[in-house]
Amino acid sequence: MANCIICGTSADGPICEVHQEDVAFEFEGNHPSQLTPKRFYRGRVDGYADFGVFVDIGNVTGLLHRSKLDQRLESLDWEVGEDVFVQVNNIRDNGDIDLGWSIRQKEAEFRGVLVDTPDGDRLADEYHGDDDDDGGPGPESDETAERTEDDESTASGSGRTGTSGTTETTETTETTETTETTETTETTEATETADFDRVPVEELGDHVGDVVRLEGEVVSARQTSGPTVFELRDETGIVDCAAFVEAGVRAYPDVEADDVVRIDGEVRLRRDEIQVETESLVLLDGTAEASVRTRMEEALDARARPDEEALLADDDALSTIADDVTGAAAAIRRAVLESRPVVVRHDATTDGYVAGAAIERAVLPLVEAEHAAADAVYHYFDRRPLEDGVYDMNDATKDVTRMLGDRERHDEKLPLFVFAAAASTAASTDGLELLDVYGAPRVVLDGRSADETIAAAVDSPVTTEERSAATVAATVAAAVNGDVREDLRHLPAVSYWEEVPEPYAELAADAGVGADTARDLREAVALEAFYQSYEDKRELIVDLLFEKRTGLAGQVAEQFRTKLDAELDTATANLDERTVDDATVAVLDTDAYTHEYDFPPTRLLLDELQRRLDADVIIGVGTDELGVRTDGTLDLEALVAALQLEAPDAGVTDPEAREPRVEFLAGEREAVLDAVVDAVAERALAASV
């Protein structure tokens, strides 16, 4: 019999069953079956695959699947040949080894190192200290061997915390180890009442190795296979604070997101990122909480306020809504600063994609600057296209379910929703009101005026009739982040299918994007927006719009033209042209003469027919709906009222979509079509007079 190196109890080897996961093992076996599940092993990165990382553990190799990582595989900075620590989760019957993630990636972060051999466990021959670690006793030290069960809630490095919020003494920071319960309690009280200086998060880099005090708001709490990691935000930044009870056990279970806390702990540098090893954590309330919140609010207001900057272009149409632009930019900046995810919902069109990409271009650098984690840009920003630019209950229900799940699992704040070229019509009212029930903030950026119900349902509407949504969004994005202003100059020009307003044509030319290049980009984005429109295509859109890969844009645009021209040839050959009181109406049966699930979508086809044909009105009629295009002003509300009188049994309604559209009962299709031809022709003639 031997004594456990951690607690000193009798054991079959140098470690007892209770503390198997507190130490790291070096494997000297030669077969997977000789590994012990749930232990942590030192390994070496063997290579990468699309589905994970292969790690050699002595003489065998296991797979750390990408689903087991605490970050995206693409952001993992392990190099082939690098020593890492992994947990053995399972050994399959065929010898495959399933590995798990280890939050501890330095030997000194474990409470000892042992060798796992076919004949049993033994102490390692030497202690491998890390160059940037303060050192500590190795597994053979007398101090480690003398530990008692009173120290079971401590961890490696500086002091760790237990569930009660008390701090035990540890091997690296205390010169005299307490072993009796009463002595531990006294040490804890001394630690909690110690007079540490409060240090702002932005200054932690100057205090590596020091014990400091932080005050701020808990952004999130995530449980790893080792410690609990609290993401703490103060008025200057965000930092991860690790608190350890035992592997996989939640420290401070009563602490949740939005709580204001005081943390004392040692500043450590872990994989080139600042982290605080928590020694004590105290929930603040009353005056202390109010003081911290006031300090943070004042600082956040100042930081969120956009720099005094001119609009993206000298444009009277945008000057009239300059205050709205500033307000929306401040809302977006504040969301980033308070660790609130930003979700951009945009129309699955060129205008929508360009608008969404403009906001993305501005926000991602701010997220990177605010959060140290390499995958923060995926965690705190998302862009999700919308069909037809309408945010209905289906979309809202999905978003609410997702955000509530993230709040429950990760203590995440409810996101700020930014709608671009979307959600400005009354059809989106129900969806927006569902978000409002949960208090999720909402911003709408569009190139059309928001309906009255929408203006009342969102926090920051920024809309204008005279410019595209992408123009509005690019202007807001420039206010959000002035550092990317130069990247945004050509975006408005890409969003106009017809004449580009002069200020934005000049901006694009100054950015090296002439009319032909803008056209290629416009058409390439339109094609990509159609295919799998429910995906954001972040990297592809970046390549097209910002890397200026003109070869890529030209190739995709050529496919756009080929497909569109083929559909136009079919459509124009099958148009039903009618003349009513000198007004020309072209009717296309979209069920019979378009490909329902192929490019182009019906609304883009009708837009193109309107641009190419010399007709007063274009009508595309399907089974139970029809779309209308005209160069004149169309009062859709009056049109629907007239149709309801002419075809009272057809159930004619206005779905309140972004493009003029009427819905009806399929059985009354011909009656509705005849009535709408007469009605729109009459209105087209009246508008021309």
Residue at a domain's end among 110, 126, 145: 145
CATH of the domain at 256: 2.40.50.140
**Is the pLDDT reported for residue 578 higher than 60?**
yes
Classified as helix, coil or strand, 319 is helix
Residue at a domain's end among 264, 294, 324: 294
Residues 141, 152, single domain; the answer is no
CATH of the domain at 327: 3.90.1640.30
**Is the pLDDT reported for residue 390 higher than 90?**
yes
User: Mean pLDDT throughout 4-23?
Assistant: 84
Residue written as tokens 């202003």?
485
Residue written as tokens 């880099």?
205
Q: What is the domain extent for residue 639?
A: 574-688
Residues 441, 330, single domain; the answer is yes
Which has more pLDDT, 527 or 4? 527
Q: What is this structure's pTM?
A: 0.65
Residues 333, 190, single domain; the answer is no
Residue 249 banded pLDDT, cuts 50, 70, 90: confident
Mean pLDDT of the chain: 84
Residue at a domain's end among 436, 470, 487: 487
Residues 214, 92, single domain; the answer is no
Tens of pLDDT, residue by residue over 306-356, are 976 779 999 999 999 999 999 999 999 999 988 899 999 999 999 999 999
User: Mean pLDDT throughout 160-168?
Assistant: 35
**Is the pLDDT reported for residue 304 higher than 60?**
yes
Residue 359: name the closest of 451, 414, 421 by CA: 421
Residues 21, 117, single domain; the answer is yes
Count the domains in the chain.
4
Strands 211-223 and 228-233: antiparallel
Residues 475, 392, single domain; the answer is yes
Residues 137, 154, single domain; the answer is no
Residues 613, 595, single domain; the answer is yes
Q: Answer for the pair 23, 5: CB distance below 8 angstroms, yes or no.
A: yes
Residues 211, 264, single domain; the answer is yes
Residues 188, 55, single domain; the answer is no
Residue 300: name the closest of 235, 218, 366 by CA: 235
Token pair listed for 223: 């449980």
CATH of the domain at 618: 3.10.310
Residue 301 banded pLDDT, cuts 50, 70, 90: confident
Residues 330, 479, single domain; the answer is yes
Q: Answer for the pair 73, 53: CB distance below 8 angstroms, yes or no.
A: yes
Which has more pLDDT, 260 or 111? 260
DSSP string, 604-620: HHHHHHHHHS--SEEEE
Token pair listed for 522: 């416009």
From start to end of 224-347, where are the E strands?
228-233, 238-243, 260-270, 273-283, 342-347
Domain membership flag for residue 578 = yes
Tens of pLDDT, residue by residue over 127-161, are 344 444 443 333 333 333 333 333 333 333 333 33
Domain membership flag for residue 557 = no
Residue 40: name the closest of 26, 61, 29 by CA: 26
Amino acid present at 505: A
**Is the pLDDT reported for residue 269 higher than 60?**
yes
Tens of pLDDT, residue by residue over 173-205, are 333 333 333 333 333 333 344 567 899 999 999
Residues 345, 237, single domain; the answer is no
Domain membership flag for residue 658 = yes
Q: What is the pLDDT of residue 548?
A: 67
Residue 549 banded pLDDT, cuts 50, 70, 90: low
* Angstrom distance (rounded) from CA 331 to CA 264: 32
* Angstrom distance (rounded) from CA 41 to CA 29: 12
Which has more pLDDT, 338 or 618? 618
Tens of pLDDT, residue by residue over 53-75, are 999 998 899 999 888 887 878 77
